[in-house]
Structure 1
Amino acid sequence: MVRIADARPEDARALAEVHVAAWRETYAGLLPDRALDTLSVPERTALWRRVMEGGGWVIAARDGGRIVGFVSGGPARDGDLPAATGEIVALYLLKAHHGRGHGKALFTAACRRLARDGCRGLALWVLAGNPTRGFYRRRGGTADKAEDDVVAGTRVRAVRYVWPHLPG
């Protein structure tokens, strides 16, 4: 049974392990192997610890106590979005847990958290080649913008999905 709950700073290493593994699973073929090979669990551990100790939030999916996915967000960073728009900055789930409802549960938990924080709309960015883009479309997201970005030293195309109202 999966349990969705706030992560704590002591979960930073487990979050980092999921982050690195999910990048390698999801972005194989989209990013060069050298970029994926250099991903660092210690660097991501420090990142997630800083996020949580700095007042940011992370919600984790635990299966049998083990973190298998997570979501993090906050106020939208893009200046062209309406006021009170929230953003999902990261949503990662180990591939072995796809199709079990864990991603939907994390997405829903993030929307609830953003609503509690006063957000009314939602935005997120995803790589154009990411095979999980359909997940966001099925939840009512509309692609409204695409931009080139550099991820792990590689130029990629990213697509922004928006929801004028937070999904229920």
Structure 2
Amino acid sequence: MKIRQAKQTDAKGIAKVQVDSWETTYKDIVPDEYLSNMTYEAREEKWKDIIPQTTVFIAETNDGEVVGFAGGGKERTGKYPDFEGELYAIYILEEYQGKGIGRLLVEAVVEDLKQKKIFSMTVQVLAENNSRLFYESLGAEKIGTDELEISGKQLDSLIYGWKNINTI
């Protein structure tokens, strides 16, 4: 498994991971209508715009298949002044979860943040999403809650934070 910074040409692979992992991760959490409207093509176009503006890392197999990605940067909400950075997204295809790839992707984001002199980080996770246990296993502590709406459904989210990303 190789972890590297994404290039625009990786947008197609990232889009596939995002759509496929949303379907497995958020089934019975996010409305089916939203999930069924996510397309590889639309997400690919979105990622072509995101990649040049944000640091994104991918996990790829030896044959070049993108099986996971993570991105991060400055904390975007301004609600957590003690936390400068944010893990924006991390998704891994279901069949590759539980193999240490998530940790490797988080570590890549953390190293990038440190190079930018950012040493604390948040992540937002849907309360019903069991991946919150992954963040807890990496030492994150719950620092807040929020709500968001997807396709008319109100969803609770949890905000986790690491005061010192050197501990990850």
Q: TM-score range by the shorter chain?
A: over 0.9
Q: CA deviation at 1:152?
A: 4.1
State the superposition RMSD in angstroms.
Answer: 1.3
Q: CA deviation at 1:83?
A: 6.0
Counterpart pick for 1:58 among 39, 56, 59: 56
Distance 1:111 1:154, change over 3 A: same
- Paired with 1:123 and 1:101, the residues of 2 have a C-alpha distance of 20
Gaps of 5+ in 2: none
Distance 1:133 1:83, change over 3 A: closer
Once the two structures are superposed, residues 19-50 of structure 1 have per-residue CA deviations (whole angstroms, 9 ceiling, x without a partner) of 00010010001012111111121121111111
- Paired with 1:83 and 1:147, the residues of 2 have a C-alpha distance of 17
> Number of matched residues?
166
Q: TM-score, normalised by structure 2?
A: 0.94
Q: Does 1:31 find its partner at 2:30?
A: yes
Q: TM-score, normalised by structure 1?
A: 0.94
Distance 1:87 1:77, change over 3 A: same
Identity among equivalent positions (%) equals 29
Alpha-carbon contact 1:88-1:110 (below 8 Å) kept:
yes
Please identify runs of 4+ aligned residues in structure 1 that moved more than 3 A: none
Structure 2 letter corresponding to 1:162:
G
Distance 1:83 1:161, change over 3 A: closer
In structure 1, the residue matched to 2:133 is: 134
Alpha-carbon contact 2:82-2:163 (below 8 Å) kept:
no
- Paired with 2:40 and 2:17, the residues of 1 have a C-alpha distance of 9
SS of 1:157's partner is strand
1:14-163 paired onto structure 2 within 5 Å:
14-53=13-52, 55-64=53-62, 65-82=64-81, 85-163=84-162
Distance 1:80 1:31, change over 3 A: closer
Gaps of 5+ in 1: none
Alpha-carbon contact 2:33-2:151 (below 8 Å) kept:
no
Once the two structures are superposed, residues 66-114 of structure 1 have per-residue CA deviations (whole angstroms, 9 ceiling, x without a partner) of 0000001110012132366110111000110011110110011111111
Q: CA deviation at 1:163?
A: 0.7
